[in-house]
Chain A
Amino acid sequence: GAGVSQSPSNKVTEKGKDVELRCDPISGHTALYWYRQSLGQGLEFLIYFQGNSAPDKSGLPSDRFSAERTGGSVSTLTIQRTQQEDSAVYLCASSLAGTGTNEKLFFGSGTQLSVL
């Protein structure tokens, strides 16, 4: 596609359930990022992929959060045993190189997660 695509756009779940969020980056972009945007907060960095590998997972808030990327393309962010504090907009971004030099990140529209 022309841009970064995320699905679902909205997800309402019950506390304790697992959820899976999907990100389809721009074709050819090797770097992929997940951020979390909570109400009144900035963007919290979660994880970065270069190709299929994730050099830095330290941003993940807890061991209930995991992410994978297969084929250097689509990524999924999984949250197990969701808690109410997980409610937020989860944004995915991709960039061409991920080298840290002039990182022009292209963002998807996000998944609004609501945990009841």
Chain B
Amino acid sequence: GEDVEQSLFLSVREGDSSVINCTYTDSSSTYLYWYKQEPGAGLQLLTYIFSNMDMKQDQRLTVLLNKKDKHLSLRIADTQTGDSAIYFCAEDSGGGADGLTFGKGTHLIIQP
């Protein structure tokens, strides 16, 4: 079945760049997503990338996709304390009836 893997924790200093990595197994994924979850809240869609792209930039966020290696990354430039959250990688391998397949999430910890 589909599987999405992420590291559980990432610690960075305020002002540095954060890079959160994700690997997935289903090569038929059409879109790949990054969601952000702040404490006590639901998931918020941050950004997504179409599978035939290798990079997408949106302000401080850069998504890189290596389809050959099934590797997705999210880079957050100039990390701020407000970026502290859990970041989930997801793929739409099934879509519709199967929903999205999510990783376990990466806790981003910001050090002052």
Contact = CB atoms under 8 A, between A and B. Distances in A.
Interface string A27-53: 000010101000011110100101000
Interface residues of A, number: 30
Interface in A44-77: 45, 48, 50, 55-56, 59
Interface in B24-60: 30-31, 35, 40-45, 48, 50
Contacts of B4: 42
Contacts of B50: 102
Nearest to A109: B42
A55 B97 contact: yes
B62 to A, nearest CB: 20
B42 A91 contact: yes
A95 to B, nearest CB: 9
A56 B31 CA distance: 21
Contacts, number: 79
Contacts of B96: 31, 48, 50, 55, 98-100, 103
B33 to A, nearest CB: 8
Contact of A107 (B44, B48, B101, B103): B44
Interface of B: 4, 8, 30-31, 35, 40-45, 48, 50, 88, 92, 94-105
